[in-house]
Amino acid sequence: MRLALPTRLSAAALAGAMLAATLVACSRDPGPGPTLDAFLAGWRSGNLDAVGFVAPEGHGVPAAKVLEEIGSLTGELPKPQVTVAKKPTERNNVATAELVLSWPMAPDAVWAYPSTVQLARNRDKKWQMVWAPTVIHPQLTTGDVLATGRIAPARGTVLDGAGKPIVEDRTVYAVGLQPSGVKDLPGVLKELDAAFRSVGVVVDMSGVPGQVAAAEPDAFVPVVSLREQPFLTIRPRLDPLPGVFFRKSTLPLAPTREFARALLGTVGEVTKEIVDANPGRYVAGDLAGLSGLQRQYDERLRGTPGLRVLITHRAPDGAVGSTEVWRTEPRPGFPVKTTLDVAVQNAAEAALRGRTQRTALVALRVSDAAVLAVANGPDGGGVNLAFEAQVPPGSTFKVVTAYGLLEAGAVTLDAVVPCPKTLTVEGRAFKNSNDFALGNVRFRTDFAKSCNTAFASLAPRLGPTGLADAGRALGIGQPWDLGMLTSAGRVSTGGSAAERAAAAFGQGQTHVSPVALAAAVAAVARGAWQQPRLLTEPAPARPAPSGPQLKPTTLDPLRTMMREVVTVGTGSALADVPGPPVHGKTGTAEYDNNPAHTHAWFIGWRGDIAFAVFVENGGSSTASAVPVAEAFLRALPPA
């Protein structure tokens, strides 16, 4: 049992210090006020040499020891502002005063309370501060320490278009190592790697040996956090491994590991880099968004932590206890509301599942441009290619070129536009995929069969800026604001005749993102371009204005050609997909100087859903992108 020291001096306790207590101060005695002021000034400056101290028991206390004990008692707390609430009142050479201590715990949180202090006049008629831990706080005793703690707020969730949570607290298990228990580290890591891979989780453990070597023997060195189901699946393989331990907790997670992962991002313990870059905002152990929407909107989502002050004390048996003396309640974070549709997102994820190349699929609602799905692969993707990619569109860009040609009256649906095997412009040779040639065919056939040479030959009819004008009419190459990093693309304009010929079928200096092409397709289906909408709360600050209505005389033939891509052209694998008719365009895009290196695309719409599929280094679009589009459309719920 601990005995608290008295907060006021008794006459007996002061006897040793007050041998001349019966002497009456002369009129020149300034009283205890200056000594109290000197104490407060010395506390602020860190130098108490000008102040005399006496313990409650009557013996003197060196100023250096008082300063040391103040440091020990206040621990990690900042220095307080101390003011005199009630000036000293004297009785029998003992003065009592009341202070107010105000500790700045946060920019908007101050811990303030009163503290009663005493001063005593010694035989030399000098006033001394009576030093005890209660000067700092009425509940403090020798050996105690004031400590601060944070109370984690409830993190705001990410909502879908129906206002239902996508991201919720879900059970996770941290798998880690205790260095003292690991006898064969390479062997244990090999077993862990095999277990993780058996549930589709690949973990880079190259840094684990160094972390184990640097850790305390009984520390927990985390290796990976797993969702509950995969963890329970492999737990029988983990339990026998020496030195492997688990910690159960919760984290804000989407329904599945891959569900819009690159878009939504992840939440985890703050890194040292995050703490260093945001002084005062985070401390070790805090949760923060590490990527995606979770990182970009972390300030909104994370809420405001609560604070508390504890008095920690150690009992004679070594046990450590604590008493809370102050707190502020945490304020929960605000949600981020998206337009995502869970069923459409699941269909997109299913279509990408099992693909080894980097892939992306974006789906928009034609009627209002709401983003319904943003999927990246493999395994959810590490980068949000769906929004951020800046890659050549290949023949999908023939939609833009055809729009520009039809709008300018430079070609008609049934005009004969030859499709030779090769076409040379300014010494640069252009050819078709697999060197095919169609001969003298109608423009609609050139489009459906994706003839590069036909489109290259039509480039002069657009003039220096016609292609860029057509791109802007369909939203490509103008600034957007989706509320997160997005590429709206760039259309090659001007340049040499050879560059304009290449740009006419999506090569040259033109680049796009999947979301930009999906928005362009939606504009063709809708009849006007509208910026895609992903976030409704908070809404983007500067969304692009919607474009004007596009002419039916331009759109009707373009829609006809995009339907024929599916019925008689390069996208014929989609002809029997159930539901409303599918309109679309395939695309194979060279991305370096090797013609064998190509990205694969398919863009299109069915009913009220427009979409774009991108397969990095996918080769032929009919062999890679079209099957993804088919899997997506077949997985969608009935309209």
Give the count of alpha carbons within 13 A of 455, CB side only. Answer: 32
- Please say whether the dihedral angle defined by the alpha carbons of residues 574, 575, 580 and 581, taken in this order, is positive or negative: positive
- List the CATH number of the domain containing 228: 3.30.1390
Residue where a domain stops, chosen among 269, 303, 334: 334
- Verify that 123 and 235 share a domain, yes or no: no
Q: Which amino acid is at 157?
A: T
Q: 586: which strand partners?
A: 602
Q: Is residue 51 included in any domain, yes or no? A: yes
Q: Please name every residue paired with 268 in a beta bridge, in sequence order, or none if there are none.
A: 288
The 10s digit of each residue's pLDDT in 247-295 is: 999 988 999 989 999 999 999 888 888 888 888 788 888 889 999 999 9
CA atoms within 13 A on the CB side of 85: 13
pLDDT at 635 over 90: yes
φ, ψ (nearest 5 deg) of residue 156: -65, 150
pLDDT level of residue 317 (50, 70, 90 thresholds): confident
Q: Say whether both 481 and 614 belong to one domain.
A: yes
Assign 387 a pLDDT band (cuts: 50, 70, 90).
very high
Tens-digit pLDDT profile for residues 41-69: 999 999 999 999 999 999 999 999 999 99
Segment 403-422, tens digit of pLDDT: 999 999 999 999 999 999 99
Distance CA 280, CA 166 (A): 30
| Among 219, 253, 287, residue at a domain's last position | 253
Q: Read off the pLDDT of each residue in 238-253 and give the average, rounded to a whole number.
A: 93
Terminal-to-terminal C-alpha distance of the chain: 73
Separation of alpha carbons 178 and 163, rounded Å: 43
**H helices of 207-254, where?**
208-214, 228-238
Q: Tell me the pLDDT band of 22, cut-offs 50, 70 and 90.
A: very low
Does residue 3 register a pLDDT over 90? no
Structure tokens that stand for 419 in this block: 């499709």
Is residue 563, in this structure, part of any structural domain at all? yes
Q: Does residue 538 have a cis bond before it (omega within 30 degrees)?
A: yes
For residues 171 and 174, what is the distance between their CA atoms, to the nearest angstrom?
Answer: 10
| Together in a domain, 368 and 237 | no
Q: Are residue 433 and residue 319 in the same domain, yes or no?
A: no
Q: What is the pLDDT of residue 5?
A: 33
Q: Which of 504, 517, 511 is nearest to 475 (CA)?
A: 517
Tokens matching residue 360: 């992306």
Are the CB atoms for 365 and 534 separated by under 8 Å?
Answer: no
Q: 361, 517 in Cβ contact below 8 A? A: no
Q: How far apart are CA 165 and CA 162, in angstroms?
A: 9
Q: Which helix (H) or strand (E) holds 445?
A: helix 443-449
Instruction: Round to whole Å and give the CA distance between 321 and 310.
Output: 10
- The answer to whether 197 and 205 have CB atoms below 8 angstroms apart is no
Binned at pLDDT 50, 70 and 90, residue 25 comes out as: very low
Percent of the chain residues past pLDDT 70, beyond the cut: 95
Average pLDDT (573-601) is 92
- From the number of C-beta atoms within 10 Å of its C-beta (0-12, 13-18, 19+), residue 349 rates as buried
What is the enclosing helix (H) or strand (E) of 305? Answer: none
Give the alpha-carbon dihedral of 65, 70, 75, 77, to 10 degrees. -150
Helix (H, G, I), strand (E, B), or coil: what is residue 562? helix
Tokens of 121: 């006049």
Count the Cβ atoms, other than its own, within 10 Å of residue 100. Answer: 15
Separation between Cα atoms, residue 183 and residue 243, nearest integer Å: 8
- What's the rounded mean pLDDT across residues 144-167? 94
- The CATH number of residue 262's host domain is 3.90.1310.10
DSSP 8-state assignment for residue 162: T
CA 637/CA 639 separation, integer angstroms: 6
Name the residue with tokens 């194979």.
588
Q: Tokens representing 559?
A: 């829609």
Quote the CA–CA distance of 639 and 633 in Å, as a whole number: 11
Q: What order of strands is seen across the sheet that includes strand 535-537?
A: 158-159, 336-338, 535-537
> Domain count of the chain?
4
SS3 track for 96-116: EEEEEEEEEEECCEEEEEEEE
Run of H or E residues at 611: strand 609-615
Does residue 22 lie within any of the structural domains? no
Residues 444 and 413 in one domain: yes
Q: What is the tens place of the pLDDT at every residue in 213-226?
A: 999 999 999 999 99
Q: What is the number of other CB atoms lying within 10 angstroms of the CB of residue 607?
A: 16
Q: Return d(Cα 140, Cα 116) in angstroms, integer.
A: 13
Average pLDDT over residues 3-18: 40
Q: Are residues 347 and 407 in the same domain?
A: yes
Band of residue 20 on the pLDDT scale cut at 50, 70, 90? very low
∠ CA 14-15-19, rounded to 5° = 115
Query: 237 in helix, strand or coil?
Result: helix
Mean pLDDT to the nearest integer, 148-163: 94
Q: What is the DSSP letter of 549?
A: B
CA atoms of 267 and 287, how far apart (whole Å) = 7
* Under 8 Å between Cβ of 63 and 48: yes
**114 or 26, which is more confident?**
114
pLDDT value of residue 23:
38
Same domain, yes or no: 471 and 527: yes
- pLDDT exceeds 70 at position 16: no
Whichever domain contains 545, its CATH number is 3.40.710.10
The answer on pLDDT for 2 being more than 90 is no
Looking at residue 6, its pLDDT comes to: 38
Closest CA to 507 of 412, 427, 397: 397
Q: Tokens at residue 487, please? A: 């590429």
Domain limit, last residue, from 141, 156, 188: 141
Q: Are 375 and 628 in contact (CB under 8 A)?
A: no
For residues 493 and 529, membership in a common domain is answered with yes
Tokens of 632: 């997506």
Tell me the mean pLDDT in the region 451-476: 96
Q: For residue 159, what are the domain limits?
A: 144-167+254-334
Pair 407, 554: CB distance under 8 Å: yes
Instruction: Please tell me the distance from the alpha carbon of residue 80 to that of residue 203, in angstroms, as a whole number.
Output: 47
Closest CA to 584 of 599, 596, 568: 568
pLDDT at 465: 93
Indicate whether 482 belongs to any domain.
yes
**Same domain for 260 and 379:** no
Record the tokens describing residue 16, joined without a space: 């040793």
Note whether 270 and 365 are same-domain residues: no
Average pLDDT over the chain reads: 92
Residue 531 inside a domain? The answer is yes
Angle (CA) 431 437 443, round 5°: 95
Residues 445 and 314 in one domain: no
Domain contains 483: yes
Within 13 Å of residue 24, how many CA atoms lie on the same side as its CB? 2
CATH label of the domain that carries residue 82: 3.10.450.50
Residues pairing with 337 in the sheet: 159, 537
Determine the Cα–Cα distance for residues 177 and 195; give it in Å rounded to an integer.
Answer: 15
Whether 148 and 42 have beta carbons less than 8 Å apart is answered as no
Is 6 a domain residue? no
Whole-number pLDDT of residue 592: 83
Give the per-residue pLDDT at 231.
96
Task: Give me the mean pLDDT over the 330-350 stretch.
Answer: 97
Query: DSSP class of residue 396?
Result: G
Res 28: pLDDT: 66
Q: Is residue 2 included in any domain, yes or no?
A: no
Position 526 scores a pLDDT of: 98
Cβ atoms of 219 and 232 within 8 Å: the answer is no
Using DSSP's 3-state secondary structure scheme, residue 361 falls into strand
Instruction: Look at residue 13 in the predicted model and tell me its pLDDT.
Output: 42
Please tell me whether residues 299 and 281 are part of one structural domain.
Answer: yes
User: Which of 2-11, 488-497, 518-527 is predicted most confidently?
Assistant: 518-527
pTM to 2 decimal places: 0.83
Please tell me what DSSP assigns to residue 374.
E
